[in-house]
A and B are shown apart, each in its own frame.
Chain A
Amino acid sequence: MYRETPPVSSASELILASATPVPVERDPSQTKPLTAPLRQRITQALGPYLFILPKFLFFGIFLLYPLVRALMLTFQGGAILSGLHWVGFRNYERIIHDDIFWRSLWNSVYYTVLVIPSVLITGIGLAALLNRQIKFRAVFLILLVVPSVASTVAASVIWSYLLQFDGGLFNQLLGIVGIGPVNWLGDPQLVIPVFVALEVWRGAGFYTILFMAAMQSIPTHLYDAASIDGATGWQSFRLVTLPLMRPTILFATVMATIWNLQLFDSPYVMTRGGPGYASMTIVMYIYTQAFRYDQMGLAAAMALVLLILIMLLALAQLLIFRKEIEF
């Protein structure tokens, strides 16, 4: 009896579907008579645990333990070399009065708020264009995916080069049109939008492929029905395509929020958080406190604030989208 099973599709389906437990096939080894030898019964009972043991070993040592240790660390002061000691809530008190902490948290939030609509619009827009009946689709797609080959650090080096004040490509091109050189990374107003542009540049290919897959999975008869009802192209995009892509959009939004609130690589490479603290992100500030000033406890407390913020935002996004889906 062959069971028709859906192929593993997009990453979104992987993550979303895994949240709901799927009924497990009855394992024939479980239905053997009780007279099976004791040794066999022990192996059967322990077997599954032996399969997950290696993963949980590393998971426990390098994820669960550090998580618990991080919670403890938020109540500790002192340095790695001189030793840590308990300080109660002092780290949290210090955070409340730390203006640079709030500044960097705001920078990260501001960056994320700009990035999410940018990557969603770019990704959905390009996916809609590529899904039309066009020639050279593969060529366009390859061009869009090219930047994904660069790591975030490599992309940052490339953009440092393009954005140089004196002789960078961008300022050369602007010079041709007669616009004076722009101090891209030295202008506190411009520096965060520049990082947004960098993220859109590097992520466009990924988001386009993600949304293309979602669009291709929409049954064509829905578009036929829409056109019989007299819908224009834009109407069928707005009333058929977008609503049916909600799960993918939700997945992309939640993941992009979690990733982008942790922005570190590009500001570290390109500006070290400057000018002033204009591009100091929350993770950069945690890094600075922990590894430049050796304030482990304080940095851990800041990281915990970030964790709580991420959890609240992810929860809020799930609730908002659920309400919209259920109408």
Chain B
Amino acid sequence: MTGTANIPAHPNRGRTIKDIFTYLALALAGLMSAGPVVYLLATSFKQTYSRMVPLSVLWSPSLANYHTIWFDHPFKQWMINSLVVATIATIVILFLDSLAGYAFARKRFRGKDSLFMLLLSTLMIPLAVTLLPTFLLANRLNLVDSYQALILPALAYPVGVFMMRQFIQTIPSELEDAGRIDGMTDLGIYFRVILPLCIPGLAVLGLFTFLTQWSAFLWPLIVATSDRSRTIPPGLATIPGQYNTDWGLATAATVSSMVPMLIIFALFQRYLRQGFSGGRTTKG
């Protein structure tokens, strides 16, 4: 970027030095970034944990830790709970937020701007504020230690409405007019015109929602009081004890917990790249 703009006395030498620095810095950053995960992976395949020496795993890799964590441990139940909660929450949020986003993008109605500002103004509210009353509510509704207690509060979060509103505004309204001329109802237009055109936006919102739910910790820690509804993060947090942690099990569980996120990232990364590099963050 800057190399081409700059024409020093010895262009080639200046460039080469800059390039070497760039590659060195990026290689170092990449190593620091991915190194710990590789080390984690190596530990998880070790037979027994003693003092982990880097690369020693290559001599006798073993699936023993994974076998224990998946067949002799509540971990599998946490995994199922996390999958159920994150999947249901994501699907319902996509529906609620695209529906509301459509109305805010296209419809005219009394109080629209005030209602929208009401949603917007709650974005700053820390979870810690609503956490306590929501727990009292869940307690009164007898929802503690249930999937509902994990899913329902997640549906209130407003950020998806903005995302879908922004996205739907980019869809040419002529397509809706065409639908209307064909005699479609508003709901028909939403389902058959808007939703299909929203797929990239829904993919980005779905990805973020799933990842948020997958890594949610504080609320599940409070409300998922047993393995019946406990999700991965509060479960995982119980594994490293103060002393005598079985790091083989801890690392195998951690690696396992990262796999679904990896799969989701891999599946949706092209939408994410679209979402990020559409690129008019600044006015040029």
A residues near B (Cβ < 8 Å) are 1-3, 5-15, 17-19, 21-22, 24-25, 27-30, 45, 47-49, 51-52, 54-56, 58-59, 61-67, 69-70, 73, 80, 125-126, 128-134, 139-140, 143-154, 156-162, 167, 169, 172, 201, 204-205, 209-210, 212-219, 222-224, 226-227, 231-234, 236-237, 244-248, 258, 261-262, 264-265, 268-269, 282-283, 286-287, 290-291, 296, 299-300, 302-304, 306-307, 310-311, 314
Contacts and interface: CB of A to CB of B under 8 A. Distances in A.
Contacts of A223: 1, 4-5
A127 B173 CA distance: 36
A232 B166 contact: no
A80 B135 CA distance: 10
B88 interface: no
A58 to B, nearest CB: 4
The interface residues of chain A, by DSSP majority, are classed as helix
Contacts of B126: 258, 261-262, 283, 303, 306-307, 310
14 contacts: A9-B281, A10-B276, A51-B99, A52-B99, A54-B100, A55-B155, A126-B29, A132-B1, A134-B19, A157-B250, A217-B281, A218-B284, A282-B128, A314-B124
B166 A215 contact: no
B5 A66 contact: no
A54 B92 CA distance: 10
A58 B33 contact: no
A213 to B, nearest CB: 5
Taking chain B's interface residues, is the majority helix, strand, or loop, or is none over half, making it mixed?
Answer: helix
Contacts of A25: 106, 173
Contact of B174 (A1, A131, A167, A218): A1
A136 to B, nearest CB: 8
Given A8-B166, A158-B254, A213-B279, A129 B26 contact: yes
A28 B200 CA distance: 27
B280 A6 contact: yes
A290 B132 contact: yes
B115 A56 contact: yes
Interface in B72-119: 95-97, 99-100, 102-109, 112-113, 115-116, 119
Contacts of A213: 276-277, 279, 281
Nearest to A202: B33
A264 B218 contact: yes
B240 to A, nearest CB: 5
Nearest to B157: A63
A19 B124 CA distance: 13
B52 A167 contact: yes
B267 interface: no
Interface of B: 1-7, 18-19, 22-23, 25-27, 29-34, 36-37, 39-40, 43, 51-54, 95-97, 99-100, 102-109, 112-113, 115-116, 119-120, 122-137, 139, 152-153, 155-159, 161-163, 165-167, 169-174, 177, 180, 186, 190, 200-201, 204, 214-215, 217-218, 221-222, 232-234, 236-237, 239-240, 245, 247, 250-251, 253-254, 257-258, 261-262, 265, 274-284
Contacts of A287: 128, 218, 222
A307 B95 CA distance: 30
B217 A264 contact: yes
Nearest to B22: A129
B107 A51 contact: yes
Contacts of A62: 130, 134, 137, 152-153, 155-156
A143 B30 contact: yes
Given A150-B254, A232-B6, A283-B126, A27 B136 contact: no
Contact of B30 (A9, A140, A149, A217): A140
B103 A70 contact: no
Contacts of B26: 126, 129-130, 134, 140
Given A70-B130, A307-B125, 11 more contacts: A8-B167, A54-B99, A69-B133, A143-B33, A153-B234, A162-B39, A216-B279, A217-B279, A231-B5, A264-B217, A283-B127
B5 A2 contact: no
